[in-house]
Amino acid sequence: MTLDRFYPIFDDVRWLERMAPLGIKLVQLRIKDQPEPELRDQIAKAKTICQNSGITLIVNDYWKLAMDLDCDWIHLGQEDLDVADMAAIRRAGLRIGISTHDRDELDRALGHDPDYVALGPIYPTKLKKMKWHQQGLEKLSEWKGLIGDIPLVAIGGMSVERAPGAFEAGADIVSAVTDITWHDSPEDRVRAWLDATR
């Protein structure tokens, strides 16, 4: 299956409720620090919205809940790989995206036969404190050369204005977080993203 080129990430299902009617086709639900009943409820709601709207839902981190709720996709960071039961995940038929920041992490990710690889932060990011400050567009081109046909996601400091450069450098998909959720008019920003990526 081909993933949409625009990949918003939301930290609450309420964002998805607002943005699904605009025509997004791919979304990650990335919730931090919530009790399990709340997580389960949000993922279940997100799954229903996505099924009804033809959106591919990717669940960040919570692979056990994703399996329980019969989701199709998960996204794992490098720390998640330390604890995830990859054999069980594959048996459940889950498709997997994996975050990478350097060559060692890329090699590790490729060892798990991922369905996409994410590289970031391409630009300085306001959201996370990281030891990687800025990967740059050149590294996107390098990564694309290394991973071939596996879809490559550019993430970190991405904006509508920066998206064309990321695609030109080799990204197949561009992911955005704060460019939407911190915007004065998030709906208008999503519309601009859809215009820029379709």
Domain ranges of the chain: 6-197
Is 99 among the catalytic positions? yes
Reading phi first (left if > 0) and then psi (alpha if -120 to 50, else beta), residue 100 is in: beta
Pull the structure tokens for residue 157: 């400091």
SS3 of the chain: the string is: CCCCCEEEEECCHHHHHHHHHHCCCEEEECCCCCCHHHHHHHHHHHHHHHHHHCCEEEEECCHHHHHHCCCCEEEECHHHHHHCCHHHHHHCCCEEEEEECCHHHHHHHHCCCCCEEEECCCCCCCCCCCCCCCCCHHHHHHHHHHHCCCCEEECCCCCCCCHHHHHHHCCCEEEECHHHHCCCCHHHHHHHHHHHHC
The per-residue pLDDT for 124 is 86
Give the span between the Cα atoms of 6 and 151, in whole angstroms.
12
pLDDT tens string 114-148: 999 999 999 987 766 656 668 899 999 999 999 99
Catalytic position from the list 90, 103, 126, 128: 128
**Which of 5, 30, 95, 189 does the annotation list as catalytic?**
30
Q: What is the mean pLDDT of residues 65-88?
A: 96
Tell me what pLDDT residue 127 has. 64
Tokens 């959720």 locate to 181
Per-residue confidence (pLDDT) for residue 9, from 0 to 100: 98
Q: What is the pLDDT of residues 166-182, one digit of tens each?
A: 999 999 999 999 999 99
Single out the catalytic residue among 5, 25, 47, 99.
Answer: 99
Asked about 175 being catalytic, the answer comes back as no
Query: Catalytic site residue 30?
Result: yes
CATH number of the 6-197 domain: 3.20.20.70
8/20 Cα distance (integer angstroms): 11
